Structure 1
């Protein structure tokens, strides 16, 4: 219980325009989703009354304390239509479980668990982030707008040991050695950094609950209820009462109670791969149980989404991640639907649009067919973003939102939120507060945001963009199309990038038919196909064509 506190050349496939489904019929597909990633504490403060808890009042390093962002703040922006206008159909938020109460200095000044990755109690939402009621409201309001909610799961470690946060028992965690990251063993059976106790996920021994957790639950008046639920879980599953299974139970409660749609899983490569097969089984069971009990709250037939953070996984590796002494497949046997793709930012720097799009289409419709990658150009812990000084916001949007695969918009990508903050150390520079004031007042920010909105909504309306097959039409000017088909649903779009402004005559004879009415979602122009061509006379160097 959650408490408060067959393979053929796909490039030759063409979807006949007369058979294309309408935009309104567009299904949601995780492989082509537009996912928004935010730090819960840094996005929007919707309730100032919960800004300070557990006396977390020590002076911290710059941007290393709680700043007030919360679940209510996210819901507020959902209701205002911010995400809908941006074409977002899934929101991934950093962990919201109760964090350690104390702070710790890792050499960058005192830091509190504002980021959510320092769990103290998985069964309770941290009051700095909100309440159960807040999470219920967020899921309800997001689902009403076709937006999925993805939470963040940590099974690898607890939070650091601090003055208010004792180390967990030896049969639960190891406190050394520290990982060296040069082979499988010293990436998995070790601590990520000093003072970050590593859960013994390899253990199948029955262990008792940590005394501090027992004491805490008793003080909160919910010990008996938590024990009953644990007994029921272990009786149903037959799992040993080993550390990893306790945590899995606590995490799937967020599925059965709130109906969240997915988990992004942290520090995957630091945990034995079979753990994730087990976790997927439990998540799928919980999601099925929720849908059976709450049919009125079911969005569609989509499976529960699991995307893993295997740090430095590259799409060029296909299904395998190389530890040096061994390669591991985190997709099969069944575990992750998708992995975060750390290669995308480098590909975006080094490759032309066509080379980038072709590479990703070939892999995702080949070796990774039926799986996916989550592509990003900036994030919360990657110190080498694609455009650190925000000089290329339009190109960033083009490459991220028009590439095959699932797109991850990191909060503020769409508004050029600064990634270089004077006075910060380490990853804190990537984690500033969302720049709402700039969105409201700066003309340049509004222009950038408008571009991201147009591309984002086009992606959201068309599975072909992210999940379709890519085919170039002409190199100069650069036009291409994407086609997608699943069962009776068919989708095709034509896109032009860096084309000349003014009147543009585009040969679409292989994609659309004479008489088809075509809409350019970028300029808002509607026209008709004549002699196999479409003419768009606009002031823009980009076109986003769909059949009406």
Structure 2
């Protein structure tokens, strides 16, 4: 009816001639999935659910998608954003960062990072979030710079099918944002995390309570909801502007008040930031000695305040319990 049958048959013939793959069902699916890459320049797939198909199939998909992406970039040079390769993140339900590169099926273990995946969804942060900031950040920094070096994890605290999310009653939305955005790795926001959307809906069964209506009215009418959203927006923007947060090296600079740094270096690109959490109200001193030298001008993006490093520290005076410091322009 669409008038494209002959064209599709021709494309399939060329695909199987080029690849040498047998005409098995999975290779038809791979061809059709990579059409999205060929036709529209889709630059990555989020695979759900990786453990329900043979791992070799995912590698076959990745190889073909990568070829398709490179072909698309050659055909559309004016639309290419950067030189990043095709990217796949996998959902192997139950995978935890503590297990490193292996997912344990019980009867066998699979290293999905060997089969085309650059990252896996991490189901562990919702439990780690019950610990201290430094415990969380130090752990993730260590694993991502050792067993998972050059690979990654996708962190979340709430999801569409996780019946035990962190802070289901939405009592700690500010802390939740701090953990999700500042933990090394990639951050996945579930809709309504940023506005403390209610997850306890009466008369729901199963996952339905996790999929409640977005609380637009509360964002418009309740000052506290606006404050929560503003906090998430500030942290989210800071993270988006600084790859050091998710991909950089973590180091604690001060225990009390809690201050840490992140540094990311990639060839000629360097990014450095300092964050202070659980800060006291009023006048506060943040120790940055050894990271930012005296005389360095910094900008606290949270309070929109310029400061200068003196005697190894910066002084802020406000009622915020968080500071997000970057080099001033």
TM range (shorter): over 0.9
1:414 aligns with 2:194: yes
For 1:471, the equivalent position in structure 2 comes to 251
Q: Deviations over 1:90-126 (max 9, x none)?
A: xxxxxxxxxxxxxxxxxxxxxxxxxxxxxxxxxxxxx
Structure 1: distance between partners of 2:25 and 2:290: 58
CA drift at 1:401: 0.2
For 1:216, the equivalent position in structure 2 comes to none
Q: Deviations over 1:416-446 (max 9, x none)?
A: 1222222322112212333333222221211
Higher helix share: 2
1:306-317 → structure 2 map (5 Å cutoff): 306-317=88-99
Structure 2: distance between partners of 1:518 and 1:340: 34
- 1:388 aligned counterpart, secondary structure: coil
1:35-434 → structure 2 map (5 Å cutoff): 219-332=1-114, 334-349=115-130, 351-434=131-214
Structure 2: distance between partners of 1:228 and 1:422: 54
CA drift at 1:520: 0.4
Q: Deviations over 1:140-197 (max 9, x none)?
A: xxxxxxxxxxxxxxxxxxxxxxxxxxxxxxxxxxxxxxxxxxxxxxxxxxxxxxxxxx
1:498 aligns with 2:278: yes
TM-score, with length taken from structure 1: 0.59
Q: Which has the higher contact order (CA 8 A, sep 6+)?
A: 1
- 2:129 aligned counterpart, secondary structure: helix
1:541 aligns with 2:321: yes
- 2:136 aligned counterpart, secondary structure: helix
Structure 1 runs not aligned, ≥5 long = 1-218
Q: Which segments of structure 1 move beyond 6 Å, counting only runs of 4 or more?
A: none
Structure 1: distance between partners of 2:158 and 2:318: 31
Task: Count how many residue pairs are aligned between Structure 1 and Structure 2.
Answer: 328
CA drift at 1:474: 1.4
Structure 2: distance between partners of 1:442 and 1:261: 39
CA drift at 1:516: 1.1
- 1:239 aligned counterpart, secondary structure: coil
Contact 2:276 2:286 in 1 (8 A): no
The RMSD of aligned alpha carbons is: 1.2
CA drift at 1:338: 0.2
Contact 2:102 2:112 in 1 (8 A): yes
Structure 1: distance between partners of 2:80 and 2:91: 27
TM-score, with length taken from structure 2: 0.97
Structure 2 runs not aligned, ≥5 long = none
CA drift at 1:476: 1.5
